[in-house]
């Protein structure tokens, strides 16, 4: 059965054997992107995390002010032909605007950490940015009873005037409680520079993907349960930034990142297996960034 709140509806995936609805257990960490932010870095990071942490797609969400989309499952090439290790969506599954993945990871002390990773493959309806971030913030603060929520976002390299923010990608912590900010500082994720901000009156009316959501969370999330990691970067092929953000999230959340030592011959499929740092990147990224030849007859 669908689970409905005042602002969103969660539709659990059903198991292929019994047809029973999958459940989402209480999460230690919920990781979610800021849709529409610079370079889609957050969405790229969430793809990498869902793939490499072998998470199961457990359902989808519907929001009134999120534009619907449908397409081929972005992780399908990496799961359908593998041998036993990746068991998310069955053959023929489709990607949609808002997907929820869940599974168990390991902390550095060996303890289990249950994570939920959200993927947004769309953006707010035109003219409805503030309405969507209001809905989305309710989801972030309530879904899976998450103990910690980590947003992954990005801002253009042109923000602010500090020389430290120009040239190359920088990783910053933008909000969160003292425990989260200390965890970030321990892995060299420093606080976002104080000059990178908007005046209050501008923030309250902003429709920028990052700032609009920060403004709503500042009003609702008094306890600062929701932390945020930000990539300050340029737009283009941001696949390396997405992988870098995934690594920043794992370190800030104290989740083990395994070495990139998977035997490519065991994964299957016709396309090559690519790594960026410790992360095996989805084969669908090669289409997104133009490195795979297109079957042009499909457009004839």
Distances in Å between the Cα of 211 and the Cα atoms of 127, 156, 223 are 15, 12, 19
pLDDT, position 292: 54
- Decide: 146 and 116 in contact? Cβ < 8 Å: yes
Q: Give the chain as a DSSP string.
A: --EE-SSEEEEEPBPTTT-PBP-----SEEEEE-TT-GGGHHHHHHHHHHHHTT-EEEEEEEETTB---EEE-TTGGGTTTSSSS--SSPTT-EEESEEEEEEEEEBTTS-EEEEEEEEE-S-BPTT-HHHHHHHHHHHHHHGGG-SEEEEEEEEETTSSS-GGGSSS-EEEEEE--HHHHHHHHHTT-EEPPTTS---HHHHTT---HHHHHHHHHHHH-TT--EEEEEEEE-SS--HHHHHHHHHHHHHHTTB----S---GGGT-SSSPPEEETTEEEPTHHHHHTT-S---GGGG-
CA distance 45 to 157: 18
Q: Residue 2: count other Cβ atoms within 10 Å of its Cβ.
A: 12
Q: Give the dihedral sign, CA 218/223/226/228.
A: positive
Backbone angles phi, psi at 151, to 5 degrees: -85, 145
Helix axes 129-142, 209-220, angle to 10 degrees: 50
**pTM for the complete prediction?**
0.88
Q: Give the dihedral sign, CA 39/116/9/140.
A: negative
- Decide: 41 and 238 in contact? Cβ < 8 Å: yes
The tens place of each residue's pLDDT in the chain, 300 residues long, gives: 566 666 889 999 887 666 788 888 899 999 999 999 999 999 999 999 999 999 999 999 999 999 999 988 888 766 544 433 444 455 567 889 999 999 999 999 999 999 999 999 999 999 999 999 999 999 999 999 999 999 999 999 888 655 554 567 999 999 999 999 999 999 999 999 888 888 889 999 999 999 999 999 999 999 999 999 999 998 888 999 999 999 999 999 999 997 654 444 444 455 567 889 999 888 888 765 555 555 555 555
Distances in Å between the Cα of 34 and the Cα atoms of 43, 121, 129, 268 are 8, 11, 12, 32
Q: How far is CA 241 from the centre of its chain?
A: 13
pLDDT, position 83: 36
């Amino acid at each position: 059965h669908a689970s409905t709140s005042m602002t969103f509806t969660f539709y659990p995936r059903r198991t292929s054997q019994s047809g029973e609805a999958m459940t989402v257990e209480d999460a230690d960490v919920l990781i979610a992107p800021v849709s529409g932010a610079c370079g889609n870095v957050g969405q790229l990071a969430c793809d990498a995390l869902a793939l490499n942490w072998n998470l199961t797609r457990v359902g989808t969400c519907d929001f009134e002010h999120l534009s619907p989309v449908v397409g081929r499952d972005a992780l399908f090439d990496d799961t359908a032909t593998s041998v036993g290790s990746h068991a998310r969506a069955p053959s023929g599954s489709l990607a949609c605007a808002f997907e929820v993945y869940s599974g168990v990871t390991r902390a550095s002390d060996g303890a289990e950490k249950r994570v939920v990773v959200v993927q947004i493959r769309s953006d707010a309806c035109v003219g409805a940015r503030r309405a969507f971030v209001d809905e989305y913030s309710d989801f972030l603060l309530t879904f899976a009873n998450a103990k910690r929520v980590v947003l992954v976002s990005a801002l253009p390299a042109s923000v602010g005037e500090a020389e430290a923010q120009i040239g190359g990608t920088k990783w910053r912590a933008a909000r969160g409680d003292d425990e989260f900010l200390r965890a970030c500082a321990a892995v060299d994720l420093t606080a976002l520079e104080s000059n990178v901000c908007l005046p209050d009156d501008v923030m309250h009316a902003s429709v920028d993907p990052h700032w609009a959501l920060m403004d709503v969370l500042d009003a609702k999330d008094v306890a600062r349960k929701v932390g945020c990691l930000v990539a300050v970067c340029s737009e283009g092929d941001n696949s390396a930034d997405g992988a870098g953000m995934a690594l920043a999230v794992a370190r800030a959340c104290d989740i083990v990142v395994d070495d990139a030592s998977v035997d490519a011959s065991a994964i299957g499929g016709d396309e090559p297996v690519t790594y960026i740092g410790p992360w095996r990147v989805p084969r669908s990224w090669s289409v997104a960034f133009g490195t795979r030849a297109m079957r042009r007859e499909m457009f004839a």
